[in-house]
Amino acid sequence: MKKEELDFVLVPIGLAAMAGYHLWLLCRVLRRPTTTVIGINSVNRRIWVQTMMEDPSKNGVLAVQTLRNNIMASTLLASTAIMLSSLIAVLMTSHSGGGGGEQEFVFGNTSGLVRSTKFFAILVCFLLAFLLNLQSIRYYSHASILINVPVRARRHRGTAAEYVARAVNRGSYFWSLGLRPSTSPSPLPVGVWAHPHGGVLLVFGGHFVLFGCVQGVGVRSWRRRGERGVQC
């Protein structure tokens, strides 16, 4: 295989491994949620919302402060994502005219089209992270108001708590989804700037290192007293 063709083989394999893991994680969250960190946190958030809404006069400040902290976290990620998107756009325009000569120890394709494609892929990931974090802020903002509705004003108390819990969980889901595109393109810049050192090989290895990290954080089971659980 020619060195120029490695980009078209190794990089898609790394991306396919990450995509396959996230599809597997989605199926596991839907079918066996209590074996994933996402599922366990979802159950605990429902319990937390019900507890906060039992006595809004006592727990209202705590609930709003907690949701405000989540809004600040989503705002930070959204601001970082849009800032990095602007930086990538500037780099795309500055490198559009630079062709670069062939080097003896270059592993991968160094053409302007391939380089621009990598920049565009990184840009799309950060823009997607920005939009997902905006949705997270939206749901957290709705929940921060609804969680303090007085008990006597609710006709269906259980339904109201379930609705607020659903809003909080959706905010957390969008936050998690926004975090994935922010970390997934991290190996790609190595392939853009590290060509003389076998950048495409580093990208390929970086995807599997990242795969191992997110797999360890997303799902981790242990046996305790005959039960299976999740280490959050």
Long-range contact pairs involving 187-195 (C-beta distance under 8 Å, separation at least 24): 187/14, 188/11, 188/118, 188/121, 188/122, 189/122, 191/7, 191/11, 191/108, 191/118, 192/115, 192/118, 192/119, 195/103, 195/106, 195/107, 195/108, 195/110
Strand partners, 230: 221
**For the whole model, what pTM was predicted?**
0.74
Give the least confident one: 16-20, 37-41, 64-68.
Answer: 16-20
**pLDDT at res. 167:** 94
- 88 C-beta neighbours (distance < 10 Å), count: 23
pLDDT attached to residue 216? 56
